[in-house]
Amino acid sequence: MTPEHTASEMHPSRWGDPAAATALPEATRGLVELALGVRDTPAASAVTLPAPSIDAAILDDFRRLLGDEHVLTEDDVRRLRTRGKSTPDLLKQRIGDLSDAPDAVVRPGSHDDVQAVIELAVRHHVALVPFGGGTSVTGGLVARREGFAGVLSLDLVRMKAAREVDTVSMTAVLEPGLRGPEAEALLAEHGLMLGHYPQSFQFASIGGFAATRSSGQSSAGYGRFDSMVVGLTVATPQGTLELGSAPANAAGPDLRELVLGSEGAFGVITAVKVRVKKVPAEKVYEAWQFASFAEGSDAMRHLAQNGLLPTVLRLSDENETAINLSSQDNVGGESVGGCLMIVGHEGASIAGRRALVTEALTSLGGTPAGEERGRAWAEGRFHAPYLRDSMLDVGVLVETLETATFWSNRDRLYTAVRDALSESLGEKSLVLCHISHVYETGCSLYFTVAAPQADDPLAQWDLAKQKASQAMIDAGATITHHHAVGTDHKPWLAQEIGPVGVSILRSVKAGLDPSGVLNPGVLIP
């Protein structure tokens, strides 16, 4: 049951499926012109890759192991494995900087293949960068080259099976190369689903979801990806690690939680046993309006703390609400004011729960704003990254970052990060925020910024990102709620977990990967 790899490749300097890309909607373009000014950027030019910097004899060893057709050095293939999809990644591709390209791409077909690739990489001291969907936004695909005989992209594209589908335990074993829709399609054959829908869903992979602790838009109902994982198979330089003897146990530290979020630095995840759900018979998405971000998010807190969470629960702040409403042609320009909340209910029979949530939201100051806006959100839920490309095309810097904290620290964190971004990006910038993941004890905050591009937009964003990141740590929050550490977040991870925490990561790394070939430079400060 291994499907062919049919998912489309992404454009190297843009998001997603080129056929799905759209020009900037007129309403948004008008807003952009008004607020930010427009500066058309040159179309991406054909860029030349640095020549592969690895001994041919080494590649021959990998060819003997995997077969010639699974060791690729073509420019197109290497370009598509260069960095991820953060705005800086796209900007670098646009200006022809492909200095982080891997020397070659290797495609193992099985756990044993991965194990053998790792052993060969250790022998030749070649760096390995595990590659799933290529959607990292934190520099997770940019390995350190210095000191290594070369850098190989370890593309998991051939590992796309769903195995051991267990409708009694409601679990399934998924291979790491499965992209979101591919995994859902295989599970749907059994009437099952995962329910993990990050914005990168259409391209990101099962292995990547686990390695980065991804969280999706239905996390209120189905949980973070890490909470869906009950077992893991990992190939490491020390051999195979198999974890997951029970849903939960007390057999020492939970080593699954050490692999989750390890970004390929400890080992390569070759199988993920996940908790699955029945495909819901009913789905409804509806909008609610609240007078303010504080009032709306207090209502979210009430739901989370009283066992009333719907499947989807999101709240835009005043700025994001204004932009969203003005940019969605299918909704029209009508403004509801205040803050828009999206509430989604999915399940076998949702009426009872929906009634309870409706009653609670009403009592907490919410006003129903219709299913039409809810549907519009659901239909456009994976589209924002395309919009970023269109904005970059017209000279607007667009990027996102996110954090999380406990409820009582929400306002302090919100203000600190918003102000850091606004101050750094200037008065012509827009800073939008939403809450898309809630817990009994706290919530995430997801910021989107738009600003006129400076002459050096990379430096412009780097400074803003530094200021915002430091604001998060200074506010006692996390450097990332659901986008991992990569290379970009390392200085702040070091502050977040402190020197003893960093020493633990280093001990584990030194024990599992003493020669350091696994994604060097990523995760560990």
Q: Which residue positions form the known binding site for substrate?
A: 388
- Residue 272, Cβ density class (10 Å: 0-12 exposed, 13-18 middle, ≥19 buried): buried
Q: Which of 18, 50, 191, 239 binds a second copy (CB under 8 A)?
A: 239
Binding residues for FAD: 130-136, 212-215, 263-269
Q: Which of 55, 97, 119, 254 binds a second copy (CB under 8 A)?
A: 254
What's the closest the beta carbon of residue 343 comes to a second copy, in angstroms? Answer: 17
Determine contact, residues 178/205, Cβ cutoff 8 Å: yes
512 binds a second copy (CB under 8 A): yes
Determine contact, residues 237/514, Cβ cutoff 8 Å: yes
Strands (E), 180-267: 192-193, 229-236, 239-243
479 binds a second copy (CB under 8 A): yes
Binding residues: 130-136, 212-215, 263-269, 388
Which amino acid appears at position 251 of this protein? A
Measure the CA–CA gap between 324 and 65, rounded to whole angstroms. 51
85 binds a second copy (CB under 8 A): no
Determine contact, residues 169/246, Cβ cutoff 8 Å: no
Q: Show the tokens assigned to 472.
A: 């998060």
Which residues on adjacent β-strands are paired with residue 155?
Answer: 131
Q: Which of 62, 197, 407, 461 binds a second copy (CB under 8 A)?
A: 407
**Cβ distance to a second copy smaller for residue 15 or 222:** 222
Measure the CA–CA gap between 94 and 45, rounded to whole angstroms. 7
What's the closest the beta carbon of residue 358 comes to a second copy, in angstroms? Answer: 15
**Cβ distance to a second copy smaller for residue 262 or 289:** 262
294 binds a second copy (CB under 8 A): no
313 binds a second copy (CB under 8 A): no
Q: Show the tokens assigned to 259.
A: 């692999």
Assess whether 446 carries a catalytic annotation.
yes
Q: Which of residues 215-234 bind a second copy (CB under 8 A)?
A: 215, 224, 226, 230, 234
Residue with tokens 């290797």: 106
The contacts of residue 498 (CB under 8 Å, 6+ apart) are none
* Segment near a second copy (CB under 8 A); pick from 70-78, 89-97, 189-197, 259-267: 259-267
**Cβ distance to a second copy smaller for residue 53 or 503:** 503
Q: Which of 41, 367, 409, 466 binds a second copy (CB under 8 A)?
A: 409
Q: Show the tokens assigned to 388.
A: 């970023």
What's the closest the beta carbon of residue 170 comes to a second copy, in angstroms? Answer: 6
**Cβ distance to a second copy smaller for residue 331 or 479:** 479
171 binds a second copy (CB under 8 A): yes
The contacts of residue 150 (CB under 8 Å, 6+ apart) are 52, 53, 54, 55, 58, 103, 104, 124, 126, 127
* Segment near a second copy (CB under 8 A); pick from 92-100, 200-208, 235-243, 366-374: 235-243
Q: Which of 89, 263, 346, 393 binds a second copy (CB under 8 A)?
A: 263
Q: Which of 259, 361, 431, 432 binds a second copy (CB under 8 A)?
A: 259
Alpha-helical runs (H) found in 336-489: 351-363, 371-380, 384-393, 410-425, 457-474
279 binds a second copy (CB under 8 A): no
Looking at residue 8, what DSSP letter applies?
A: P
**Cβ distance to a second copy smaller for residue 1 or 168:** 168
3-state helix, strand, coil in the chain (%, to 5): 40, 20, 40
260 binds a second copy (CB under 8 A): yes
* Segment near a second copy (CB under 8 A); pick from 9-17, 104-112, 322-330, 474-482: 474-482
214 binds a second copy (CB under 8 A): yes
**Cβ distance to a second copy smaller for residue 214 or 321:** 214
Q: Which of 150, 261, 264, 338 binds a second copy (CB under 8 A)?
A: 261
**Cβ distance to a second copy smaller for residue 42 or 253:** 253
**Cβ distance to a second copy smaller for residue 219 or 453:** 219
236 binds a second copy (CB under 8 A): yes
Q: Which of 43, 250, 334, 427 binds a second copy (CB under 8 A)?
A: 250
Q: Which helix (H) or strand (E) holds 274?
A: strand 268-275
Buried b (16+ CB within 10 A) or exposed e, 462-472: eebbebbbbbb
470 binds a second copy (CB under 8 A): no
What's the closest the beta carbon of residue 289 comes to a second copy, in angstroms? Answer: 23
Q: Which helix (H) or strand (E) holds 404?
A: strand 396-406
Which amino acid appears at position 434 of this protein? H
Which residues on adjacent β-strands are paired with residue 347?
Answer: 282
According to DSSP, the β-strands at 277-278 and 430-435 are unpaired
505 binds a second copy (CB under 8 A): yes
Measure the CA–CA gap between 211 and 226, rounded to whole angstroms. 9
Instruction: List active site positions.
Output: 446
